[in-house]
Amino acid sequence: MRMKSQQSVFASGFTSRAGLRGVVSHIKGRIRVLALVFTFGFIISYPITERMIVWASGNGDWRPDNVEIIIIQPLELIILKLKISVNMALGATLLAMIADLSLNGARIISHSTRTLHENQSPSRLILISLASVALGVMGICYANYVLIPFLMEYLVQDSTAAGLNATWQVGSWLGFILGLLTASAVGFQVPLAVFVLIRSGLISPETITGSRSILWFAALVAGAFLSPPDPLSMFLVGGPVVILMELAIQIERVSGSREVN
């Protein structure tokens, strides 16, 4: 059963100001560690970016027929490598932050608000990390096999219908694909983030449920920025985020009712 001391934290939907200050202070104290994670992620990922670019240029799903990929600026390929490395490093940093908050979130808030808290098992950190990696892989697979092929074909058909030959700049082409891959990998983390926030006491299930329409709108807006401006493309980008968020709410509701009983 959840401790009664956390009910005051949930009273306003969000954690108290003292709890928020504790979380912010904890993150500030982890800046150096997160910076190291980002640095190592960047160093490890940069050497393999060239192989990734070569593989992407030969991927028929990412490069439709009759599409020419060109390089215009001398440093364009280097800038693209840096962009890919930064995105991969940010993903590693986000994973580290989620794992840290899932393990220490309740303790941080309880210490800041001077209330008791339940000790978290180290196995929880392992489960959260595995779940985050699994959701990220699911997001990348969704983008690779469903989202990107559909949008690439859509853009080619749009150019053909206008009587134009498709010639794409390598930075814009792979930058667009990288944005879709990153958005899908991060977007699929939404259910895990919601679950961690609720279990850590940072937010209540009622707040998520009450803000459901705003979250739906935000997901569709994100889809509009990352896809062609038609309803189907917007749904393909933002729809899975909405569905997974609803799934997370239902899982938390069921597991929460079991703990109460």
Judge whether residue 261 has pLDDT over 60.
Answer: no
Per-residue pLDDT, 4: 44
Cα angle 209, 21, 131 (rounded to 5 degrees) comes to 50
The answer as to whether 78 is a domain residue is yes
Whether the Cβ atoms of residue 113 and residue 8 lie closer than 8 Å to each other = yes
The answer as to whether 2 is a domain residue is no
Residue with tokens 């891959």: 181
Residue with tokens 């600026």: 73
Q: pLDDT above 90 covers what percent of the chain?
A: 5
Total domains in the chain come to 1
The answer as to whether 235 is a domain residue is yes
3-state secondary structure (DSSP) of residue 166: strand
Question: What's the pLDDT tens digit per position in 49-75?
Answer: 888 888 887 777 788 777 888 888 778
Give Cβ neighbours of residue 47 (< 8 Å, ≥ 6 apart).
Answer: none
68 pairs with which residues across the strands?
167
Question: What's the pLDDT tens digit per position in 100-122?
Answer: 776 666 666 565 555 544 555 56
Average pLDDT over residues 218-230: 65
Residue with tokens 């934290």: 9
Residue with tokens 């490069």: 63
Residues 245 and 241: their CA atoms lie apart, in Å, by 6
Structure-token pair, residue 208: 């998520």
Element (H, E) at 67: strand 67-70
Residues 104 and 190: their CA atoms lie apart, in Å, by 19
Per-residue pLDDT, 21: 66
Q: Pick from 129, 248, 241, 249: which is nearest to 186 by CA?
A: 241
For the chain, what is the mean pLDDT? 75
Whether the Cβ atoms of residue 24 and residue 218 lie closer than 8 Å to each other = no
Structure-token pair, residue 220: 């569709």
Per-residue pLDDT, 17: 59
Q: What is the DSSP letter of 119?
A: P
Question: What's the pLDDT tens digit per position in 125-135?
Answer: 678 778 888 88
Q: Which domain holds residue 156?
A: 8-60+73-260
The answer as to whether 212 is a domain residue is yes
The answer as to whether 67 is a domain residue is no
The answer as to whether 68 is a domain residue is no
Judge whether residue 39 has pLDDT over 90.
Answer: yes
Candidate ranges 28-42, 174-188, 215-229; pick with highest mean pLDDT: 28-42
Judge whether residue 3 has pLDDT over 60.
Answer: no
The answer as to whether 77 is a domain residue is yes
Judge whether residue 7 has pLDDT over 60.
Answer: no
Residues 91 and 88: their CA atoms lie apart, in Å, by 5
Q: pLDDT above 70 covers what percent of the chain?
A: 71
The answer as to whether 15 is a domain residue is yes
166 pairs with which residues across the strands?
67
pTM: 0.70
CB-count exposure of residue 185 (10 Å: 0-12, 13-18, 19+): buried
